[in-house]
Amino acid sequence: MTQRRYSPTYRFIAGVVKPFLWLMGRKRWSGTENLHRPEGFIAAANHASLLDPLATAHVLYNNGAPPRIMAKAELWKVFGLGALLRGSGQIPVERRTRQAADSLVAAQAALEAGECVLIFPEGTLTLDPNAWPMVAHTGVARLALTSGAPVIPLAQWGSTAILPRKAKFPTLRRTTFQALVGEPVDLTDLRPQPGAQPTPEALAEGTRRIMAAITTQLAQIRGETPPAEPFDRRKAGV
């Protein structure tokens, strides 16, 4: 595909969201040339604030890739929001159920149609005390290895200054919405034989590589050192 479609609903949402983001902060984005690709691709981003999906979608939307965001299905039940999510082609995920995998079918169809699928591989806001990415679910690698679509790591930072994880209300201080987009993560050696499913080891290793890329980029924009090992919910028992 040459040009992705910006549906009227998507333009409407952007018309509301962009001025709101302009008020909340300035933007500092780099590596966005990695988003200029005609074929379908997966954008994988860290998730530390409820504002992130908007800040991240903004980067993609402004770079020719209005994203199909994989988002929790509960949001489709919020009055008024459901119609907007449907009309802009977002993809519902029924987390913690067997239907969670259905979302990957929808995501794969979007990739085949040349769309950009935005996924937050951690599946929820990070529980790391310093908001570094934590050990992720393997859905991102499953989607990448079964579709063959490239995975573009996208580190983003700045939203937590306005809305940290536990905050009930946003602060009124302006922030800088930073984003650093990387080159595709090399997963070629992990690809299954045609017709076969990726192995659990390939899924774990692919996910680890994708999160490592995001974390390295995030360390660059934060100018800080991430923990040697990412926070692991299973080990922490949360």
Which residues contact ligand NKO by CB under 6 A? 13-14, 17-18, 50, 53-54, 57-58, 61, 69, 71-72, 90, 120, 124-125
The rounded distance, in Å, linking the Cα atoms of 125 and 146 is: 26
CB of 106 to ligand NKO, least distance (A): 14
Asked whether the beta carbons of 132 and 217 are under 8 A apart, the reply is no
In the bound state with ligand NKO, the residue whose beta carbon lies nearer, of 4 and 58, is 58
CB of 14 to ligand NKO, least distance (A): 4
φ, ψ of residue 74 to 5 degrees: the values are: -55, -30
What's the maximum distance between 2 C-alpha atoms anywhere in the chain?
52
In the bound state with ligand NKO, the residue whose beta carbon lies nearer, of 163 and 190, is 163
CB of 97 to ligand NKO, least distance (A): 14
The rounded distance, in Å, linking the Cα atoms of 103 and 75 is: 14
In the bound state with ligand NKO, the residue whose beta carbon lies nearer, of 53 and 230, is 53
11: left (phi over 0), alpha (psi -120 to 50) or beta: alpha
Q: Name the nearest CA neighbour of 232 among 103, 133, 97.
A: 133
CB of 74 to ligand NKO, least distance (A): 7
Q: Position of tokens 């991240």? A: 56
Structure tokens, 67? 């994203």
In the bound state with ligand NKO, the residue whose beta carbon lies nearer, of 105 and 192, is 105
CB of 18 to ligand NKO, least distance (A): 5
In the bound state with ligand NKO, the residue whose beta carbon lies nearer, of 116 and 190, is 116
The rounded distance, in Å, linking the Cα atoms of 110 and 104 is: 10
Cα three-residue angle 201-113-15, rounded to 5 degrees: 105
Q: What is the CA radius of gyration of the chain?
A: 17
In the bound state with ligand NKO, the residue whose beta carbon lies nearer, of 132 and 202, is 132
CB of 39 to ligand NKO, least distance (A): 21
